[in-house]
Amino acid sequence: MFEGTTILAIRHRGKVVVVGDGQVSLGQTVMKHSARKVRKLHHDKVIAGFAGATADAFTLFEKFEAKLEQFNGNLKRAAVELAKDWRTDRILRRLEALLIIADFDDLLVISGAGDVIEPDDGVIAVGSGGNFALAAARVLVKHSQLDARAIAEESMRVAASLCVYTNEQLTFEELA
């Protein structure tokens, strides 16, 4: 588990929302409150968010965007190819991060162990507050009339209230 962030992705009622908190922690010290851990890639058609070491995440964003270009925006193919490279490359395999990636068709988590995981229910989260955000989002998707962004915001507020490595300075990226 990565301490220092929470990233949540939701596909609900025709929208895709990925949200990340802004806290950057070094040990027990908050170093920054307003980091952007979520961004759009590939002509604003893909959203990616990271949990883990910042420099590692930026490297993975660049590698993933190159894979998207190589495979003409095919998210699953780019994800699988990145996971293979990440797992087998001597330098890349030392990177410590998790990526959530999303487009209109897919939500995926990519890990350095070679995992490419797609949720069953259109909700996925990573990071130290990920399980809190995930639980809240699943309940709200099933039992509320809120839209995807409102569910994401409320779920992240729950995570921030429970996880000391997550704050309420949220960055949202959406596809509609």
Taking domain 6-175, whether its CATH number is 3.40.50.720 is answered by: no
Q: Give pLDDT tens digits for 141-160.
A: 999 999 999 999 999 999 99
Contact predicate 92/112, CB 8 Å:
yes
Selection from 84, 61, 82, 60 nearest residue 71 by Cα: 82
Residue 115 C-alpha from the chain's centroid: 14
- Full 3-state SS string of 5-49: CEEEEEEECCEEEEEECCCEEECCEEEECCCCCEEEECCCCEEEE
User: Residues 47-65: pLDDT tens digits?
Assistant: 999 998 888 888 899 999 9
- Measure Cα distances from 7 to 70, 74, 145, 157 in Å: 26, 22, 22, 12
pTM for this model (two decimals): 0.94
| Res. 26 pLDDT band, cuts 50 70 90 | confident
What's the rounded Cα separation, in Å, for the pair 176 and 74? Answer: 18
Per-residue pLDDT tens digits for 113-124: 889 999 999 999
pLDDT number for residue 1: 47
Whether residue 93 has pLDDT greater than 90: no
What's the one-letter identity of residue 101?
I
| Residues involved in catalysis | 5
- What gap in Å lies between CA 19 and CA 12, rounded to an integer? 14
Query: What radius of gyration do the chain's Cα atoms show?
Result: 15
Do residues 167 and 21 touch, judged by C-beta distance below 8 A?
yes
